[in-house]
Chain A
Amino acid sequence: MIEEILITARHNPKIDPILGIWTWEISVYLFLGGLTAGIIFFVALMNLLEKNDTYNFSANRLALWAPIVLSIGMTTLFLDLEHKLYVFRFYTTLEPTSPMSWGAWVLIIIYPISILQILSTFRVGYPVLSGWLEKIPFASKLVDLSERYIKVISWIAIPSAIALGIYTGVLLSAFNARPFWNTGLLGPLFLISGMSTAAAFTVLFARSHEERRLFTRYDLGLIGIEIILVVLLLINLATGTEQQLKALEFLTTGGGYAVAFWGAFFFMGLIVPLFVEFIDLVQENRTLAILGPLLVLLGGYMLRHITVNLGQETSWQNYGTEYSVEALERVNKIYKHGLN
Chain B
Amino acid sequence: MTIRYAMVIDTRTCIGCGDCVVACKTENKTPVGLNRDWVVEATRGKWPNVRTEFRSERCNHCSNATCVTLCPTGASHYWRDTNIVLVEANKCTGCKACIAACPYDARLIMHPDGYIDKCTFCHHRVERGDDPACVSSCPTQCMHFGILDDAGSKVSQLLKTRNYKALMTETGNEPNVYYLT
**Contacts from A to B (Cβ < 8 Å):** 1-16, 19, 21-22, 80-84, 86-87, 89-90, 92-93, 95, 97-101, 103-104, 174-178, 312, 315-317, 319, 325
B 46-77 to A, binary, CB cutoff 8 A, 1 in contact else 0: 10000000100000000000100111111100
How far in angstroms is the closest Cβ of chain B from A8?
A: 4
Question: Does the CB pair B66–A176 fall under 8 Å?
Answer: yes
Of the candidates A100, A315, A317, the one whose C-beta lies within 8 Å of that of B70 is A100
| Among B101-109, B122-130, B146-154, B157-165, the stretch in contact with A | B101-109
B113 at the interface (CB under 8 A from A): yes
Pairs A–B under 8 Å by Cβ, sample size 18: A1-B44, A2-B42, A3-B44, A7-B18, A13-B33, A13-B109, A19-B99, A82-B111, A84-B94, A86-B90, A86-B94, A90-B73, A95-B71, A175-B100, A177-B66, A177-B100, A177-B171, A312-B100
Selected contact of B18 from candidates A8, A11, A312, CB within 8 Å: A8
Would you give the shortest CB distance from A318 to chain B, in whole angstroms? 9
Q: Which residues of B contact A19 (CB under 8 A)?
A: 99-100, 105
| Interface: B95 (CB within 8 A) | yes
**Nearest chain A CB to B72's CB is how many angstroms away?**
4
* Residue pair B93, A90 in contact (C-beta under 8 Å): yes
Interface assignment of B140: CB less than 8 Å from any CB of chain A: no
Chain B residues with CB below 8 A from A86, complex form? 73, 90-94, 115
Asked if residues A8 and B70 are in contact (CB atoms below 8 Å), the reply is: no
- Residues of A close to B89: CB separation below 8 A: 83
What is the chain B residue whose CB lies nearest that of A171?
A: B97
Point out residues on B near A: beta carbons under 8 Å.
Answer: 16, 18, 21, 33-35, 38-46, 54, 66, 69-75, 89-97, 99-105, 107-109, 111, 113-116, 168, 171-172
A104–B45 touching, CB < 8 Å: no
Q: Are B41 and A7 interface neighbours, CB within 8 A?
A: yes
Of the candidates B40, B116, B171, the one whose C-beta lies within 8 Å of that of A316 is B171
Q: Which of A12, A80, A95, A325 contacts B72 (CB 8 A)?
A: A95
Q: Provide the bound-state CA to CA distance between A205 and B138, in Å.
A: 68
B103 interface neighbour in A8, A92, A98, A315, Cβ under 8 Å = A315
A6 and B105 CA atoms in complex are apart in Å by 13
Note all chain B residues with C-beta closer than 8 A to A178: 100
Instruction: Collect the chain B residues with CB atoms within 8 Å of residue A8's CB.
Output: 18, 21, 35, 38-39
Query: Quick check: A1 and B40 within 8 Å, CB to CB?
Result: no
